[in-house]
Amino acid sequence: MSRSLNLNNVRFFSGQSHRELAADIAAYLSAPLEETVYGKYSNDNLYVQLGATVRSRSVFIVQSLVEPVSDRLLELLMMLDAARGAAAREVHAIIPYFSYARSDKKDAPRISITARLIADLLQTAGATHVMTMTLHSPQVHGFFGIPTDPLTARALFINHLRQRNLSAADTIVVAPDFGRAGSAARLAKHLSLPVAAGEKMRVSDTEVRISGLISKKVEGFRRAVIYDDEIATGGSVVELSSHLIANGIEEIVVVCTHGLFTRDAIPKLAAIPQISEIVTTDTAPIPPHKRLPNMTVLSVAEVFGEAIWRNCTRQSIGDLYAFWQEKDA
């Protein structure tokens, strides 16, 4: 399915982080992806110029905050500022992966709640609206002082997993911690599967410990579906998988929205033969060398495209929200 907009009223641009996804979102809306000129001055300052007029138009700028995150963030801020300064009517920041959502609380002395800081910077730069997907925690939504739509890829996962004909007799959905238990329960409900949650303690950026997984919860099940918001180093999935295997799980399906697969995540996941499939999305670009044979990458272009179309045509997008209690997936 595709939608169309009045091309005289909209402009689509992409930062350098994920032009392929930006092009797919624009294509869903039958709109061209306009050119943007990037560069660096001799003193290492960034240079960004929008390649088409935006005067009195709704401007959509697609940029995921992926490595190098600081450059991609500054690039996005400059594009927002350029659109505002060129008299755009509205400026929409489309951020499929908002990495700083993980910095959502003050859990150590003298640190920044950076998610809130970035939300303020986006508004200051000129964004009038933000769209993102699966924030690390619900409270991050409240950091924004402008309308913000936290979308979900849950329907994509449900449609994909339904092809497996999973049965409640042998399959259980497992969240790595209680913070993800609500999302796991919503997924499990649509698949008519039971759900369980581990108890995760983060030791460092690369090390986690999972304890308190009630063995009776997974006892008697042959397959587990691990559901998390993102996989970076893979520490949570590896640790949880070892607990599940020790409790009799023979097959593991890993599902996550943001597949970053940093550092040695790929070899660590490949070394677990019980993982039959890794299902993720393209909110962050996944290069060929990170795509395992058992990896499925689902596109979120239609989700963002549909949300943009409904926004432009003044329709509700509530059923696309991450925390919406859907009647149907």
Give the residue numbers annotated as catalytic, written as ranges.
200
Nearest alpha carbon to residue 190 among 169, 161, 164, 217: 161
**What stretches of 90-181 adopt beta strand conformation (E)?**
90-95, 129-133, 148-151, 171-175
Is residue 152 within 8 A of residue 116, CB to CB? The reply is: no
Q: CA 239 → CA 255, 275, 320, distances in Å?
A: 15, 13, 31
- Which residues make Cβ contacts (< 8 Å) with residue 307, sequence separation at least 6? 131, 149, 151, 317, 320
Is residue 157 within 8 A of residue 255, CB to CB? The reply is: yes
Region of 247 please: left (phi>0), alpha (psi -120 to 50) or beta: alpha
Residue 17, both tokens: 């982080």
Distance of alpha carbon 299 from alpha carbon 281, whole angstroms: 6
Distance of alpha carbon 252 from alpha carbon 276, whole angstroms: 6
Residue by residue, DSSP assigns 225-241 as: EEEEEEESSSHHHHHHH
